[in-house]
Amino acid sequence: MSGIDTSGERGGRRSGRGPERLGDPIMSLALTCAGPAKLVTVAGEIDMSNAHLLTELVACACHSSPPVVAVDLSGVRFFSAHGVGALLEAQHVAVTAGVAFILRDPAPCVTYLLATSGALGDFRLNRGDGHRPLPRPATADPVTPVRDHPLTSG
């Protein structure tokens, strides 16, 4: 038997509130494939303790040179300046690899902080509500857009 106590007791005492358990994760990440494209789904909080994990997962997704890496941010409930930096770095990794990088359905807290920091215009956005932002000038986006793809159509 392992040395891990699974009885729900901590230090021999019970709290009276049921079994003790670890809290829910601060952030969850998932990487899925939609045809040749990759979708990174983020939920929870993006802060200084975990923002680097998002960048690392995007870098991992770019290794197979998909045409698109979309990051679904609809489940984000807290977004810090470290998240802004992580998204900028992730985009840089993708563009360097020749991969289109799209933020899909950013939560209001993400959109707000990106706009406040002045970084919102640096990203290609795709919102699931049918509203698409104005296209960016061709000189600002070195990656050729992928059209009519499940990840890029709202």
What pLDDT sits at residue 149? 58
102, 135 contact by CB (below 8 A): no
Q: Does the residue 18 lie in any domain?
A: no
Q: Does the residue 64 lie in any domain?
A: yes
What pLDDT sits at residue 25? 83
What pLDDT sits at residue 129? 54
**The domain that contains 123 carries what CATH number?**
3.30.750.24
Q: Does the residue 63 lie in any domain?
A: yes
CA 148 to chain centre: 22
What pLDDT sits at residue 134? 40
The domain of 101 spans 47-129+147-154
Q: Does the residue 120 lie in any domain?
A: yes
- In sequence order, the β-bridge partners of residue 38 are 33, 69
60: number of Cβ within 10 Å: 14
Q: Does the residue 101 lie in any domain?
A: yes
Q: Does the residue 100 lie in any domain?
A: yes
Distance CA 113, CA 105 (A): 14
What pLDDT sits at residue 112? 97
Q: Does the residue 134 lie in any domain?
A: no
What pLDDT sits at residue 147? 57
Tally of structural domains, the chain: 1
Q: Does the residue 73 lie in any domain?
A: yes
Give per-10-residue mean pLDDT for the chain (154 aa).
38 43 82 93 97 97 95 97 98 97 97 97 82 42 52 56
